[in-house]
């Protein structure tokens, strides 16, 4: 399949958001630090590319709360469920709760994700 220019742009934006979010989690001593982009499985990458494509369009979510709800829907479709610890093999994640039940550090992470998508949309161009 030939990669289009738009597909390449979404790839660049997705890598930026994913890896910058990972660095932010490390800097904040967050309880969950996601794997680097290159270590993510193809199912995750495929869905994340769709999310970033949407977040960098006119159809983007308008708040971190809305973004979190959409994230939970996506993870549920991949078979993830609530669990006290993040476990990619068991597909459990402690953030599979409504936004208002998240710990503050996780709300901060969602705010950062939202901001990174906005930066990608405005500054990573064709």
Could you read off the pLDDT of 49-100 as tens digits, one per residue? 999 999 999 999 999 999 999 889 989 998 999 999 999 999 999 999 999 9
Decide if 5 contacts 125 (C-beta within 8 A): no
Contacts of 98 by beta carbon, 8 Å cutoff, 6+ apart: 69
Domain ranges of the chain: 5-123
Residue 53: closest CA among 106, 9, 97: 9
1 pLDDT exceeds 50?
no
**Percentage of residues in the chain having pLDDT higher than 90:** 82
Please give the pLDDT value at position 126: 79
Average pLDDT score, the chain: 93
**Which pairs count as long-range contacts for 45-52, CB under 8 Å and 24+ apart, including other chains?**
45/14, 47/74, 47/77, 47/78, 48/14, 48/18, 49/10, 49/11, 49/14, 52/10, 52/13, 52/14, 52/17, 52/117, 52/120
What's the CA gap between 70 and 90, in Å, rounded? 21
66 against 6, higher pLDDT:
66
End-to-end Cα spacing for the chain: 20
């Amino acid at each position: 399949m030939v990669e289009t220019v738009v597909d390449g742009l979404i790839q660049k934006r997705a890598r930026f958001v994913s890896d910058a979010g990972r660095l932010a989690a490390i800097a904040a001593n967050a309880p969950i630090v996601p794997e680097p982009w290159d270590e993510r499985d193809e199912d995750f990458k495929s869905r994340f590319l769709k999310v970033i494509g949407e977040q960098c369009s006119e159809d983007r979510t308008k708040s971190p709360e809305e973004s979190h709800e959409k994230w939970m829907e996506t993870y549920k479709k991949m078979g993830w469920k609530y669990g006290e610890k993040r476990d990619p093999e068991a597909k459990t994640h402690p953030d599979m709760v409504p936004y208002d039940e998240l710990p503050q550090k996780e709300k901060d992470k969602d705010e950062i994700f939202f901001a990174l998508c906005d930066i990608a949309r405005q500054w990573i161009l064709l």
